[in-house]
């Protein structure tokens, strides 16, 4: 970054959207003081490594898979749950690797995804208006006005839950959990009822054959098969929290957010003169920017100029979430504007957030086929424009929930009440996520041929 005058607290002079109003200012300051004294969660070098990997994906040397909960909950910090989160991303990534024939960069929406931007301040629960749930880092989902009051102590809890989650992720990986040779890595029993199971089984057998074949020649590096990288990410929403985890690298003099490897700016907080953009422009982490249908080409260029003034490769990942029906109309102009301005950006697609529908009764859902449709159209537009889609971003879980309709189990709106567990947006369940990975692999393969 060229601006040496930037400071981690500089954002506080700008209008900051989506910040909780803490009734007890002293308690809030005390919580931030505690966080500032805590050790970082990730290392400078790991962040640099991810930036380089993202730059590679932008050049076509890899493919990005970013995924996890919409709202991660403190109670999700359990051994089985964390292992399942890793496993689903790992399985999806290997399926994608088979499709792209290039390494997949795995980034979890976990170990810190505890704060949510919301469209309204209040919601109606049983006929009463209550302050809205803003994520476990802010308030409790319990439907009472006391529970919904923002509690600064939750910021400290968020840090410790993130630390415990990440610690377990690191221990699992060190212990060989992500070893591609483990049979349980390949337990895809949830997929057996997919109408595409025959094709998937063939793909799986081929992947396993390839691993065995390389091993029998001593050609598979055991450290590569046994140790796979996972990176963490979350939306950088609560600026006091993010500032408290911002540290200066003594070697380079650059500031890093060491609460996660990657952070993104949400669609509701991307105002070019707003506090979030001011904070993000100063950190050296790779950052994501959600690009919604309301983003005009000139808005995007203004954001790119502020967020990536040195035009660094891998610095900025543009995550489009336009909605399936708007891709052809909006995306070409955005791609052309970025290209014509000579701006470097890595393009990813979040096919979830532009395709949310609210059913009668207020439940939100997403249709698997519409989600896939946005991805397919996005792949096509990038190809027509002579560029490339370098990654995908999903809200998903390894659990067998019923939140999105369609997919291999042909879930209908009538099925949703069976296991609707999200605290925020509907996620793809285990078999829907794996099916999606197979279908993306198919798309990627057809692009190469």
* Residue 70 found at the interface with ligand PEP (CB under 6 A): yes
For residue 135, the minimal CB distance to ligand PEP (Å) is 10
**One character per residue 90-119, x = contact with ligand PEP (rule: CB under 6 A):** ---------------------------x--
Residue closer to Co ion (CB basis): 48 or 235: 235
Single residue of 50, 64, 70, 204 touching Co ion by CB under 5 A: 70
**Measured between alpha carbons, how far is 78 from 164 in angstroms, rounded to an integer?**
9
User: Among Co ion, ligand PEP, none, what binds residue 381 when CB lies within 5 to 8 Å by partner kind?
Assistant: none
CA-closest candidate to residue 59, choices 383, 230, 349, 313: 313
- Dihedral angle sign, alpha carbons of residues 74, 233, 87, 181: negative
User: Among ligand PEP, Co ion, none, what binds residue 290 when CB lies within 5 to 8 Å by partner kind?
Assistant: ligand PEP
**Measured between alpha carbons, how far is 50 from 262 in angstroms, rounded to an integer?**
8
* Residue 321 found at the interface with ligand PEP (CB under 6 A): yes
Contact present, 280 and 251 (Cβ < 8 Å): no
Single residue of 353, 366, 377, 382 touching ligand PEP by CB under 6 A: 353
Stretch that binds ligand PEP, among 127-135, 140-148, 207-215, 263-271 (CB under 6 A): 263-271
For residue 234, the minimal CB distance to ligand PEP (Å) is 9
How many positions of this chain bind Co ion (CB under 5 A)?
A: 2
What residue has token string 């609560």? 238
In whole angstroms, how far apart are CA 427 and each of 300, 421, 423? 28, 9, 10
Structure tokens at 320: 């489009």
State the Cα torsion 303-259-398-417 to the nearest 10°.
Answer: -70
What residue has token string 């994520």? 135
- Burial (CB < 10 A; 0-12, 13-18, 19+), residue 127, is exposed
Subset of 407-436 contacting Co ion (CB under 5 A)? 425
**One character per residue 218-237, x = contact with ligand PEP (rule: CB under 6 A):** -----------------x--
* Dihedrals phi, psi of 282, to nearest 5 degrees: -95, -10
User: Among Co ion, ligand PEP, none, what binds residue 134 when CB lies within 5 to 8 Å by partner kind?
Assistant: none
Stretch that binds ligand PEP, among 93-101, 120-128, 205-213, 266-274 (CB under 6 A): 266-274
What is the biggest distance separating any 2 CA atoms in the chain, rounded to whole angstroms? 67
Stretch that binds ligand PEP, among 19-27, 37-45, 121-129, 260-268 (CB under 6 A): 260-268
Single residue of 85, 148, 261, 290 touching ligand PEP by CB under 6 A: 290
What residue has token string 């911002």? 246
* Residue 237 found at the interface with Co ion (CB under 5 A): no
In whole angstroms, how far apart are CA 76 and each of 113, 203, 274? 11, 32, 32
How many positions of this chain bind ligand PEP (CB under 6 A)?
A: 9
Residues within the interface to ligand PEP (CB under 6 A): 70, 117, 235, 266-268, 290, 321, 353
């Amino acid at each position: 970054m060229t601006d040496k005058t930037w400071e981690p607290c500089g954002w506080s002079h700008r209008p900051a959207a989506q910040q909780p109003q803490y009734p007890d200012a002293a308690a809030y300051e005390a919580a931030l003081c505690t966080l500032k004294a805590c050790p970082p969660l990730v290392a400078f070098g790991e962040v640099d490594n991810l930036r380089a990997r993202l730059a590679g994906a932008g050049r076509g040397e890899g493919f990005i898979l970013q995924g996890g909960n919409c709202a991660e909950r403190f109670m999700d910090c359990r051994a089985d749950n964390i292992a399942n989160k890793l496993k689903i991303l790992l399985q999806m990534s290997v399926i994608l690797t088979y499709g792209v024939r290039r390494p997949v960069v795995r980034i979890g929406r976990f170990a810190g995804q505890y704060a949510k931007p919301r469209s309204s301040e209040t919601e109606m629960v049983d006929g009463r208006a209550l302050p809205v749930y803003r994520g476990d880092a802010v308030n409790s989902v319990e439907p009472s006005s006391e529970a919904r009051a923002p509690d600064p102590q939750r910021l400290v809890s968020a840090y410790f839950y993130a630390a415990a989650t990440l610690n377990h992720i690191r221990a699992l990986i060190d212990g060989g959990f992500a070893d591609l040779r483990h049979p349980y890595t390949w337990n895809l029993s949830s997929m057996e009822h997919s109408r595409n199971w025959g094709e998937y089984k063939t793909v799986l057998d081929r992947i396993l054959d390839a691993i065995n074949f390389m091993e029998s020649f001593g050609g598979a590096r055991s450290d590569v098969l046994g140790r796979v990288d996972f990176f963490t990410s979350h939306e950088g929403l609560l600026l006091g929290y993010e500032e408290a985890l911002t540290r200066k690298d003594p070697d380079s003099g650059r500031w890093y957010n060491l609460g996660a490897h990657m952070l993104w700016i949400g669609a509701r907080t991307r105002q070019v003169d707003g506090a979030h953009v001011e904070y993000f422009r100063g950190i050296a982490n790779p950052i994501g920017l959600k690009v919604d249908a309301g983003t005009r080409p000139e808005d995007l260029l203004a954001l790119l100029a502020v967020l990536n003034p040195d035009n660094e490769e891998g610095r900025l990942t543009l995550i489009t979430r336009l909605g399936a029906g708007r891709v052809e109309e909006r995306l070409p102009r955005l791609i052309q504007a970025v290209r014509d301005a000579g701006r470097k950006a890595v393009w990813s697609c979040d096919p979830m957030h532009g395709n949310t529908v609210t059913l009668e009764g207020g439940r939100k859902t997403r249709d698997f086929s519409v989600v896939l449709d946005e991805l397919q159209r996005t792949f096509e537009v990038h190809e027509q424009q002579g560029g490339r889609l370098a990654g995908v971003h999903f809200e998903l879980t390894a659990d067998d929930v019923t939140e999105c309709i369609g997919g291999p189990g042909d879930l209908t709106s009538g099925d949703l009440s069976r296991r609707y567990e999200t605290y925020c947006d509907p996620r793809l369940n285990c078999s829907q996520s794996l099916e999606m990975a197979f279908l993306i692999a198919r798309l990627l393969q057809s692009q190469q041929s």
